[in-house]
Amino acid sequence: MLTVDGVSFSYRGVPVLERVSFSLAEGEMVALLGPNGTGKTTLLRAIDGILRPSAGTVLIESRDAASCSPRERARFFGYVPQRGEQVRLTVFDAVLLGRRPRLGWSVERSDLAIVQSALKGLSLERLSLRYLDELSGGEFQKVLLARAIVQEPRVLLLDEPTSSLDLKNQLEMLATLREIVRGHGVAALLSMHDLNTAFRFADRLLFMKDGAIAGACTPSDASADLVRDVYGIPVEIVRHRGMPMIVPA
Partner 1 sequence: MHLEGGRPPAGYDRHIGRKRLFLVALGALCALAFVLSISWGAVSIPPLEVVRALLGGGEPRWRMIVVGIRLPQALAALFAGGALSLAGVAMQSVLRNPLGSPFTLGISNAAAFGAAFSIIALGTGSMQSSAVNAVTIVNPWLTTGVAFASALVCMTVVLAIASVTRGTPDVMVLAGVALSSLFTAGTMFLQYFADDSQLAATVFWTFGDVSRASWRDAPIMGGLLLASFCLFFARRFDLNAIDSGDETALSLGVSAPRIRLEAMVVSSLLASVTVALLGVIGFVGLVSPHMLRRFLGSDHRFLVPGSVLAGGLLLLAADTAARLAFAPRTLPVSVFTAFLGAPVFLALIARRRRP
Enumerate binding residues for partner 1 (CB under 8 A). Answer: 45, 48-50, 69-75, 77-79, 81, 84-85, 87-90, 92-94, 97-98, 100-101, 103, 105, 109-110, 112-118, 120-121, 125, 128-129, 131, 148-154, 180, 184-186
CB of 4 to partner 1, least distance (A): 17
- Residue 213 phi, psi dihedral angles, 5° rounding: -80, 120
Report how far residue 97's alpha carbon sits from residue 194's, in angstroms, rounded to the nearest whole number: 30
Single-letter amino acid code for the residue at 195: L
The three-state secondary structure class of 39 is coil
The three-state secondary structure class of 78 is strand
Sequence-distant (≥ 6) Cβ neighbours of residue 199 within 8 angstroms: 205, 219, 222, 243, 244, 245, 246
Q: In the Cβ-directed half-sphere of 122, how many Cα atoms lie within 13 Å?
A: 32
Q: Which CB, 55 or 103, lies closer to partner 1?
A: 103
Report how far residue 153's alpha carbon sits from residue 13's, in angstroms, rounded to the nearest whole number: 33
Q: Which CB, 174 or 195, lies closer to partner 1?
A: 174
Report how far residue 77's alpha carbon sits from residue 65's, in angstroms, rounded to the nearest whole number: 10
Q: Which CB, 121 or 245, lies closer to partner 1?
A: 121
CB of 229 to partner 1, least distance (A): 32
CB of 220 to partner 1, least distance (A): 28
Find the distance separating the first CA and the last CA of the chain, reported in whole Å: 38
Q: Which CB, 154 or 209, lies closer to partner 1?
A: 154
CB of 192 to partner 1, least distance (A): 19
CB of 152 to partner 1, least distance (A): 4
Element (H, E) at 197: helix 195-201
Pairing of strands 212-217, 204-209: antiparallel
Q: Which CB, 18 or 93, lies closer to partner 1?
A: 93
Count CB-CB contacts under 10 A for residue 75: 16
CB of 73 to partner 1, least distance (A): 7
Q: Which CB, 101 or 219, lies closer to partner 1?
A: 101
